[in-house]
Amino acid sequence: MQAPVDTPPLLAAPRGGPLWRRKLVNRVMTGLIVLAFVVALIPLFSLLFEVVKRGLPGLDWEFLTGTPRGVVGGGGAAHAIVGTVVITGVTAIISVPVGILAAIYLTEYGEGRLRRWLTFFVDVMTGIPSIVAGLFAFALFAIFLGPGIRLGLMGAVALSVLMIPIVIRSSEEVLKIVPNHLREASYALGTSKWRTIVKVVLPTAFAGLVTGVMIAVARIVGETAPLLVTTGIVDSINTNPFEGRMQNLAVYAYSEYRTPGVMKQASYDRAWAAALTLIAIVMILNVVARLVYRRYKTEIR
Amino acid sequence: MDGPAGATRAEPETTKPQMPSSHPATAPEPAPKVEAEGRRAKTIEVRDVNLFYGDFHAVEDVSVKIEPNKVTALIGSSGCGKTTFLRSLNRMHELTPGARVEGSIELDGQDIYAKGVDPVQVRRLVGMVFQSPNPFPTMSVYENVAAGLNLNGSRVKKGEKDEIVERSLRGAHLWDEVKDRLDRPGSGLSGGQQQRLCIARAIAVEPEVLLMDEPCSALDPVATLAIEDLIGELKSRYTIAIVTHNMQQAARASDVTAFFNLEQTGKPGRLVEIGATETIFTSPSEQATEDYVSGRFG
């Protein structure tokens, strides 16, 4: 048996002692982590700053409501704003039902190998480059309608290819979170499976589903490449996705920069303003998503 | 093997966890209410039932008759198949992928597993209350109780629905506590209230049998006794089978007790003995039963 050792003095933190060393390491690591965080944020803030600085001057009433004036250039981006809204709307109409129904299948019905293969391919699809989606839509419509076609609908199809996998993935996650005991409670009452899904599972998952859709929309609203090849560049307001070219904010920013009018600076200003508008739209969508989530979320014990 | 059932219920004030054998059977056998509400509690007859999860043999060779207007308690140690067996009675067992049922289970003479029988229909006739209260979080108290009607798409007029909701909540001894907050979310109630809400929800569809899977295990003793009293009342209108870990509860609240046991982990669970609760707890026939109820294992 050893003689008992005296308890070392607790309050002293001598230089070089273990406590002092731990504190030092703690402080160094905290500093490094904060530094990394700041570095990661710098591009974001720098970008926001630039866009706001350069876009704000161009953001006037004429920009928001006017349309381009002739070859000389000038005018506004109303056609682009309308186009963005229409294309995004049609994309959502296609993608949301398909995406959510697919997610329901994968969560509630899918089994075994089919389900695993489907999930794998959905994951692959989330990585498709946007230009590829654009070319796909272009080729598809070219087969049926001839190669010269430009349609708002084509752009929506291209964006759907990009949006659907995102909706599926996020909806799947949300549906999986709905606890099984709620489904069982519904079955025990003598409710069929599809009714259980529609009246119990979906309402419970509602807030999460909406958030997922909003995020997916925010992701595709700024896509340029697929729209260049599918909806083209045009100068007038077109609200009909089934006919003719349609302008869109991202493409507008590109075309104003690429082919500026006689007053170059004004064109550039408008391009920046379009970019700012896009960012504003995405921000608004995110805020709405958060509000909806907070209002409708169900506290599941 | 089921003898005449004496209602072994003790007064709430004196009972608390005491050994069951000190409560003599005093109440006479209750006459089964045949005409009540135009619906009769039905018998479940189980013959040579074996339950599987894929290749795993979970429950072996159970044959039992669950009598109407009585409370049958299923007791036994953890993992011996009581819940699995209970879930086979309303065709919930098959919801687990790979699960299957062999043997015959008849509800008032009709095989519930016959070809062409709709499991959804079976579950409307055989209701279930679960271990943790699970009210639907997106629905109010009113909507929860009416869920059985709403979810099935039955066209019930508002006035009639109000009546059914009130009747079910009164039947579950919850009406007075929630009548002023019917529109508030079901999840805002206490545990005991939530469980009574789930019971109200289950009886709102007027099933013939009520299955309860450890309904009180998530509740405090006061709420537990309230639910046991409720069960004692409900048995006059329903057939009730309740799985419980709590032997004192089985002794207090049931008329018939069935003891399940596992010989060894990995082997299927079996029904060892079934009889009047009084008998099972004081003079069981099987040694294993005797060991379990006297606390030598389990």
We report the CATH number of the domain holding residue B113 as 3.40.50.300
We report the CATH number of the domain holding residue A274 as 1.10.3720.10
pLDDT interval class at A86 (50, 70, 90): confident
Predicted confidence at residue A16, as pLDDT, reads: 67
A210 inside 8 A of chain B by CB: no
Same domain, A155 and A41: no
Same domain, A193 and A72: yes
Evaluate whether residue A268 is within a structural domain: yes
Binary contact (B95, A184; C-beta < 8 A): yes
Residue A260 main-chain phi, psi, to 5 deg = -70, 160
Higher pLDDT, B102 or A73: B102
What's the token pair of residue B83? 């819940």
Binary contact (B123, A204; C-beta < 8 A): no
Q: Is the model's pLDDT at A57 over the cut of 50?
A: yes
Predicted confidence at residue A195, as pLDDT, reads: 92
List of chain A residues whose C-beta atoms are within 8 Å of the C-beta of residue B152: 189-191, 195
What's the token pair of residue A174? 């949300």
Q: Is the model's pLDDT at A133 over the cut of 50?
A: yes
Contact in structure between B137 and B185 (CB atoms under 8 Å): yes
Predicted confidence at residue A36, as pLDDT, reads: 97
Binary contact (A195, B132; C-beta < 8 A): no
Whole-angstrom distance, CA of residue B271 vs CA of residue B44: 16
Whole-angstrom distance, CA of residue A220 vs CA of residue A132: 14
Evaluate whether residue B145 is within a structural domain: no
- What single-letter DSSP state applies at residue B167? H
Whole-Å CA distances, A252 to A56, A260, B103, B196, B266: 17, 11, 71, 62, 69
Q: Is the model's pLDDT at B15 over the cut of 60?
A: no
Evaluate whether residue A76 is within a structural domain: yes
List of chain B residues whose C-beta atoms are within 8 Å of the C-beta of residue A192: 120
Predicted confidence at residue A2, as pLDDT, reads: 61
Last residue of a domain, one of A58, A90, A110: A58
Same domain, A128 and A251: yes
Q: Is the model's pLDDT at A1 over the cut of 70?
A: no
Evaluate whether residue A2 is within a structural domain: no
Same domain, A224 and A292: yes
Whole-angstrom distance, CA of residue B256 vs CA of residue B74: 9
pLDDT tens profile B157-215: 888 999 999 999 998 889 999 989 999 988 888 988 999 999 999 999 989 999 999 99
Question: Is B31 strand, coil or helix?
Answer: coil
Q: Is the model's pLDDT at B23 over the cut of 50?
A: no
List of chain A residues whose C-beta atoms are within 8 Å of the C-beta of residue B214: none
Whole-angstrom distance, CA of residue B267 vs CA of residue B251: 28
What is the amino acid identity at position B195?
Q
pLDDT interval class at A200 (50, 70, 90): very high
Evaluate whether residue A252 is within a structural domain: yes
Evaluate whether residue A8 is within a structural domain: no
Whole-angstrom distance, CA of residue B44 vs CA of residue B104: 10
Q: Is the model's pLDDT at A174 over the cut of 90?
A: yes
Overall number of domains in chain A? 2
List of chain B residues whose C-beta atoms are within 8 Å of the C-beta of residue A185: 130, 134-136, 198, 201
Evaluate whether residue B84 is within a structural domain: yes
Binary contact (A189, B136; C-beta < 8 A): no
Evaluate whether residue B270 is within a structural domain: yes
Same domain, A152 and A82: yes
Same domain, A66 and A46: no
Q: Is the model's pLDDT at B105 over the cut of 80?
A: yes
Evaluate whether residue A240 is within a structural domain: yes
pLDDT tens profile B31-63: 443 334 445 678 999 999 999 999 999 999 999
Same domain, A75 and A54: no
- Substitution target in A182, A183, A191, A193 with the highest count of B β-carbons within 10 Å is A191
How many H-runs (helices) and E-runs (strands) does chain B carry? 11, 10
Evaluate whether residue A6 is within a structural domain: no
List of chain A residues whose C-beta atoms are within 8 Å of the C-beta of residue B95: 184, 187
Q: Quick one: which of A226, A220, A222 has its CA closest to A130?
A: A226
Same domain, A23 and A140: no
Same domain, A30 and A73: no
Predicted confidence at residue A13, as pLDDT, reads: 58
pLDDT tens profile B145-155: 999 888 887 78
> Across residues A163-192, what is the average pLDDT?
93
Place of tokens 């946007």: A130
Same domain, A20 and A166: no
Residue of B nearest to A199 (CA): B151
Predicted confidence at residue A147, as pLDDT, reads: 77
Evaluate whether residue A88 is within a structural domain: yes
- Substitution target in B118, B123, B151, B152 with the highest count of A β-carbons within 10 Å is B151
Q: How many CA atoms lie within 13 A of B147 on its CB side?
A: 32
Overall number of domains in chain B? 1
Predicted confidence at residue A269, as pLDDT, reads: 83
Q: Is the model's pLDDT at B70 over the cut of 50?
A: yes
Those residues whose C-beta lies under 8 Å from the C-beta of residue A277, and which sit 6 or more positions away, are: A55, A59, A64, A77, A81, A249
Min Cα separation B61/chain A (Å)? 25
Q: For residue A37, what are the domain limits? A: 16-58
Same domain, A51 and A182: no
Q: For residue B48, what are the domain limits? A: 34-139+210-293
Whole-Å CA distances, A266 to A74, A210, A241, A259, A263: 7, 39, 29, 12, 6
Q: Is the model's pLDDT at A249 over the cut of 50?
A: yes
Same domain, A32 and A81: no
